[in-house]
Structure 1
Amino acid sequence: MIASVALKPKPIPSEQQYIVLQGVSWATYQNLVREIIHEQRARITYDQGQLEIMVPLPEHESYKRLFGRMIETTTEELGLEIRSFGSCTWGRADLQRGIEADESYYIQQEKSVRGRINLDLSTDPAPDLVIEIDITSSSLNRMGIYARLGVGEVWRFDGSQLRFYILQEGSYTEVEVSQVLPLLQRADVLAMIQKAQETGETTWIKAVREWIRTLI
């Protein structure tokens, strides 16, 4: 077991996008989250003693923001209040699991977390929707962690394919239409994301807004 937080992983070279450590305690994981966030941008996932540190590629960060802007524009046009937590680290000590989403939102349960900063998923609801950009595949079962934490819906994009998953009886079922934002169908969202490669981002988000208005 790694005993101390003096652990400071060296920058991960471009050809190696993640490292995995075994036998890491929950306390060490929590401290590493606080340490690494100040040293370099990294995604940290924890699953019962296994700890993965992944450095996202520029492609990953670009898609993350496209999906985030689409969701925020959609909820704005629908007049829905949301609470955005971005790439917040979510975890539960009692489950010995923790994960950093690419984007995370409270939409249906926004009122229950409005104005609050410190949430405890052992008593508070998990985010209604998270975005998972899977350009570099994780070595851990991230979907299993989301399910155990109780995240209601996950959008997972690998650079070409987009999948929507909703949580049903403790596991995820793939669907074609978002449950959190029923206006959005998987195929249409994917088509809009692909269009972002053909134009500037400002022009693209204007097109997204116009598209959403045709659906309302």
Structure 2
Amino acid sequence: MTATLIQNQSSGILLNNISWKTYEFLLNELAQQRGIRLTYDRGKLEIMTRSAPHEKYKILLNNISWKTYESLLNELAQQPGIRLTYDRGNLEIMTPSAPHEKSGELLGNFVEVLTDELNVDICSLGSLTCKRQDLARGLEPDKCYYIQNEDAVWNKEQIDLNEDPPPDLAIEIDITSSSLDRLELYASLGVPEVWRYDGNRLIIYHLEGNEYAECEVSPTFPFLLKSEMLRFLELRRTTKEKALLRLFREWVRSQIQFQP
């Protein structure tokens, strides 16, 4: 299954393989929310809403229970093309655009090159659902990695953030902007470092206490300047992917030889 974006006077998302139980959960919880229409046909759930054109890739639902959020997570677990973000009753359903996905893959490739050249073990978990019921918050990064805490999770089939540490690094592509404050969610979950890229601007965030501070250099990779990462991101406009990654690998090697 993939989520299908419905584009007409209204905007909406079509989800497949949704149970009748989940449909009824949503019907009950959305009964008082205006502007939302649900249509269900043998496992296909269409959620329609009127929204601005720039919001065509997302829908925000209010007054959604944790039970319904987890039910949707389970039914969409094997179905690509959907991102769910939950914040204390607010549920955003998003279908990332092609530029969104390409940027995430490229930054992820940078992390793979860095850890490979540094000979650092890494546990890559893609869009792992990071959630905690006690906080009533959950989200799926575009990419996430265990690096400093790799040894704590590398052989685990399931990761529970009530017991396990959060990912050490999350990549957040903000081309399709979220209606929710995802950075606040990352902070509440305790993710130490977040790279956020909107197609033009790259920001490196480091968690200090309960809030993020912007950095010019990655705390995880101390020689990795934000300006250098942005330079390679901009090169993709004129350089094919494999050639770009070769250039990035050569640059990383040139930096490592000067490290103590």
- Normalised by the length of structure 1, the TM-score is 0.94
Q: Which amino acid aligns with 2:212?
A: Y
- How many angstroms does 1:40 deviate by? 5.2
Checking the alignment, whether the CA contact within 8 Å between 1:43 and 1:54 is kept in structure 2 is: yes
Q: Secondary structure at the match of 1:137?
A: coil
Does structure 1 residue 125 correspond to structure 2 residue 145? no
Q: Aligned match of 2:103 in 63, 81, 106?
A: 63
- How many angstroms does 1:63 deviate by? 0.3
- How many angstroms does 1:114 deviate by? 1.6
- How many angstroms does 1:11 deviate by? 8.4
The whole-number CA distance in structure 2 between the counterparts of 1:114 and 1:55 is: 29
Provide the aligned length of Structure 1 versus Structure 2: 214
Q: Considering only aligned residues, what root-mean-square deviation do their CA atoms show, in Å?
A: 1.9
Q: Aligned match of 2:197 in 145, 149, 157?
A: 157
- Deviation readout 1:108-159 (Å, 9 max, x if unpaired): 1111112112111112100000000000111101000000000000000000
Task: Give aligned-pair identity as a percent.
Answer: 43
Q: Aligned match of 1:5 in 17, 22, 30?
A: 22
Which residue does the alignment assign to 2:138? Answer: 98
The whole-number CA distance in structure 2 between the counterparts of 1:9 and 1:49 is: 20
Q: Which amino acid aligns with 1:54?
A: M
- How many angstroms does 1:183 deviate by? 2.1
The whole-number CA distance in structure 2 between the counterparts of 1:42 and 1:14 is: 20
Structure with the larger RCO, 1 or 2 (CA within 8 Å, 6+ apart): 1
The whole-number CA distance in structure 2 between the counterparts of 1:9 and 1:65 is: 29
Q: Secondary structure at the match of 1:138?
A: coil
Q: Secondary structure at the match of 2:81?
A: coil
The whole-number CA distance in structure 2 between the counterparts of 1:117 and 1:26 is: 23
- Structure 1 residues 11 and 79 mapped into 2: Cα distance closer, same or farther (>3 Å)? farther
Which residue does the alignment assign to 2:207? Answer: 167
The whole-number CA distance in structure 1 between the counterparts of 2:70 and 2:189 is: 16
The whole-number CA distance in structure 1 between the counterparts of 2:200 and 2:79 is: 31
Q: Aligned match of 1:202 in 225, 229, 242?
A: 242
The whole-number CA distance in structure 2 between the counterparts of 1:76 and 1:191 is: 21
- Deviation readout 1:37-85 (Å, 9 max, x if unpaired): 4455111100000000011000000000000001101110000000000
The whole-number CA distance in structure 1 between the counterparts of 2:174 and 2:90 is: 19
- How many angstroms does 1:206 deviate by? 0.7
Structure 1 portions without partners, runs of 5+ = none
Q: Which amino acid aligns with 1:21?
A: L
Q: Aligned match of 2:178 in 138, 142, 147?
A: 138
The whole-number CA distance in structure 2 between the counterparts of 1:154 and 1:117 is: 24
- Normalised by the length of structure 2, the TM-score is 0.78
Q: Secondary structure at the match of 1:80?
A: coil
The whole-number CA distance in structure 1 between the counterparts of 2:170 and 2:80 is: 22
Larger radius of gyration: 2
Q: Secondary structure at the match of 1:188?
A: helix
- How many angstroms does 1:22 deviate by? 0.6
